[in-house]
Amino acid sequence: MALASGVPHTRPTHLAVAFCIALGLALAAATARSSELAAAPVRVAGIVVHDAGETLRDFCHEQDGRLWLELPGGTRWELVTSTTDPVVTNPGDGEFHAFDSSEVDAALSLVRYPIRGLSAEVFILPFPRRASLESAAGAGLILLSPGVRPLSREHQHAELVHELGHVVQHAVLPDSDEQGWAEFMRIRGLSRDTYTAESAHADRPHEIWAEDFRALFGGAAANSTGTIENATLSYSTQVAGLAEFMQSLADASAPAASARLTAAPVARGAVTFSRLGTSASVLDVFDAAGRRLASVTPVVGGSSVAWTWNGEDASGRSVRGEMVFARARDAQGGAVRVVLAR
């Protein structure tokens, strides 16, 4: 399901790019030179996956006997911790079963889509949100909700890739792009009178896009059923020009080399990240496992924005000699990975 205006979207029946960030960073660390700073822009998706244990430990807290999920920036939701809660209509086997992070990584590694500079965080939830028990996604964010029975590999892949489709849509075809949406609707043969944001779930253009993304660019497990949610529409691979149109949007939205996030040493153990433009947002630094090490406030000067990080995590521990990557929360400029000399 998609989140509107920065709030995740949800999917009643279920749902970051050909890249496993932990594996990619580990490989880069193994080959990095021991210079003061080695930096290379990440030219594929900067997807960070937080498994259920990390989400519970670092992003959940109890208040007045209730468990809350709180994300960076302050957005929060109450979580349902028991299948006996009245909001859960089907208790299943009596437990919540979270997504397997290894299956999420596998699903991401099989996605075939030419995305550059995509940044997103995937939170595997230990418990569902009370506001909506389903998975959800928005700009740069995916929330994967647990099931009341163990989730099959096919279910996990299909839901993840569908939700990723929403993240991609926010990045390459925002709602403000009226011409782009008009072309998508034309290719898909959709009438603006019938297919609207207020229509039944399967008839919403955002949901049709996400299902098309899954069908066209997801791996075999994500498409094991050979169907899409809206059975009245032609299957995605049978729509002439659809795959080409969706791919062209990725190419058109790729940031210019000069606008990408870059890194440069400023002192031993410290680094400044910068990019062209004046849009400023907090920059997060993550380790190879996807754990947030630090959050850095931007400084805007002239036609560029910069973030200076002292090379320490939130507890003050130096991370020199470790591979890390950074990206701004507004996802502009992509991501960059660096290793600081010991």
Tell me the per-residue pLDDT of 110-133, one tens digit each, with 9 for 90 and over. Answer: 999 976 567 788 999 999 999 999
Number of domains in the chain: 2
**What is the percentage of the chain residues whose pLDDT exceeds 70?**
83
Residue at 307 is within a domain: yes
Supply the range of the domain harboring residue 319: 257-340
What is the per-residue pLDDT for 159?
Answer: 98
Residue at 102 is within a domain: no
Q: Cα 282 vs. chain centroid, distance in angstroms?
A: 17
The Cα 102–Cα 222 span in angstroms is 14
What is the per-residue pLDDT for 26?
Answer: 34
Last-in-domain residue among 221, 253, 285: 253
Indicate whether 216 and 275 sit together in one domain: no
Provide mean pLDDT across the span 163-192: 94
Query: Contact 292/285 with Cβ under 8 angstroms?
Result: yes
Closest by CA to 79, choosing from 227, 141, 71, is 71
**Residue 333 backbone class (left: φ over 0; alpha: ψ -120 to 50; beta: rest):** left
3-state secondary structure of 205: helix
Indicate whether 243 and 192 sit together in one domain: yes
Indicate whether 138 and 178 sit together in one domain: yes
Residue at 182 is within a domain: yes
First to last CA, the chain: 44
Tell me the per-residue pLDDT of 59-102, one tens digit each, with 9 for 90 and over. Answer: 999 999 999 999 876 789 999 999 999 999 999 999 999 999 99
Q: How confident is the model at residue 332 (pLDDT cuts 50, 70, 90)?
A: confident
Candidate from 51-55, 111-115, 135-139 with smallest mean pLDDT: 111-115
